[in-house]
Structure 1
């Protein structure tokens, strides 16, 4: 069993034990994944594809950070950021994170995929174009007021583990 499947089994078990299985969306289809990649002009990392095939996001406000984004919501969130990037809104922030070895400088990167959202313009992002000391697939934090930072998690698997821990802590 893959690491992603093992983590999802534990997340699903938590949801079942807490009568919240309806909060996890069914998996995306392979066709929907391929279309999303084509529309975004990106290739999702294998663990992200596996995760989305299992659960295409969550119901809003049911995830520890607000909402685990579905393919549709990823595209919506990414479009907002891409529109701001393309209209020059972030031009004054081109040197943001300049000293980071893990992130490329700037406020937004076209090779970032929104992962979750808090409803206030902030969320975790999968980084497909890290800095020289970063890793493809690292999860960074995107705050609309202070910009990107991180990496917060080295991988999607580490992110999901942290979310499971937050779910477990919430019930204590």
Structure 2
């Protein structure tokens, strides 16, 4: 194993991040000191492979948070303290009375990247006496550790650099100077909705859980996932949000083909004119219920979701539409954040909102009461 592969890979990763995602680059920590690396080895009772030492000498992990650098499997590189904590936790789990699989976690395993939502993460074998010394695997809390990820950390980091630079891979998503590890997961299949007959008494209609009042306050949980854009939606003037909702609805209707339905095209025109049909059973909503039923029958989950989001939009639930249409478009549009930012007018982006932001929010269209009451927990 040679550490020059690690240095070359980090050179490429750092250069790419500096150019394309400087906010993410800023989360990479300075080098770890040699004496701290040695102290960590003694604390864990292992010998780090030379490539792990070389990597820590470049970056002692990455600072946590929404801007953090993560490997393409969403694991955040850990610094020395994080390595000790994560590895110690998994050692304790493996020593528990309920763990019978001897290979679930061995004392020579060291976790150097963490998924954080669960205990999953990327692992290196640190037993210099074994044939797997330096191999990279991934730990899953339900099944244990699989060492088929890479032969070495140099190879693993080189693959990370390749995926950032190589146009043969899906282009990395960058927004507001940060790297976001996501991408479209589906493609919209061909569909020609204009061929569908008018909705009549015998037309199959899917359920759409629509509020009785289109102006019902939006629960904060609907904004989770929009990050900086959630703060804009929550604080921009209501007319700016309404304009963005109309533009988002137009985008979604055009991309899914729903705009070909006369009822939908007419409803979008009425929305632009400031006269939405708020009826929960108007022509546009009935058409969308029929379209959802047909999409579900085809196994087209994206269009089925889109039908529901468009129903909120055409009825005038602007906050609900602008919060949820982007999450549907994210399934097939890589740059959906850029589109939403443009539709909101392109103002300067605030930080990603935290609990304190929602606690202090005073927007009558958004229900943040749970935060105002001092609760900060699961989406509400």
Tell me which interval the TM-score lies in, with the shorter structure as reference length: 0.7 to 0.9
Q: Determine if the alignment matches structure 1 residue 86 to structure 2 residue 95.
A: yes
Q: Determine if the alignment matches structure 1 residue 75 to structure 2 residue 80.
A: no
Instruction: Provide structure 1 residue ranges, at least 5 long, that are not aligned to the other structure.
Output: 95-105
Structure whose CA Rg is larger:
2
What's the counterpart of residue 163 of structure 1?
A: 160
What's the counterpart of residue 124 of structure 1?
A: 122
Higher helix share: 2
1:107 is aligned, of 81, 104, 108, to: 104
What's the counterpart of residue 13 of structure 2?
A: 11
**Aligned mates of 2:106, 2:164 — CA distance in 1:** 30
Residue 115 of structure 1 deviates from its aligned partner by 1.6
What's the counterpart of residue 100 of structure 1?
A: none
Q: Determine if the alignment matches structure 1 residue 31 to structure 2 residue 31.
A: no
**Aligned mates of 1:149, 1:125 — CA distance in 2:** 9
Where 1:125 maps in the other structure, the secondary structure is strand
**Aligned mates of 2:85, 2:164 — CA distance in 1:** 26
**Greater mean alpha carbon deviation, residues 80-89 or residues 151-160:** 80-89
**Greater mean alpha carbon deviation, residues 58-67 or residues 30-39:** 58-67
Q: Structure 1: which 4+ aligned runs deviate by more than 3 Å?
A: 129-132, 165-169
2:69 is aligned, of 44, 62, 76, to: 62
Q: Determine if the alignment matches structure 1 residue 152 to structure 2 residue 154.
A: no
What's the counterpart of residue 97 of structure 1?
A: none
Residue 43 of structure 1 deviates from its aligned partner by 1.1
Q: Could you say if the C-alpha distance between residues 141 and 109 of structure 1 is closer, same or farther in structure 2, counting changes exceeding 3 Å?
A: same
TM-score by length of 2: 0.39
Q: Which has the higher contact order (CA 8 A, sep 6+)?
A: 1
Instruction: Provide structure 2 residue ranges, at least 5 long, that are not aligned to the other structure.
Output: 166-170, 175-380
Aligned residues: 159
**Aligned mates of 2:129, 2:152 — CA distance in 1:** 15
TM-score by length of 1: 0.83
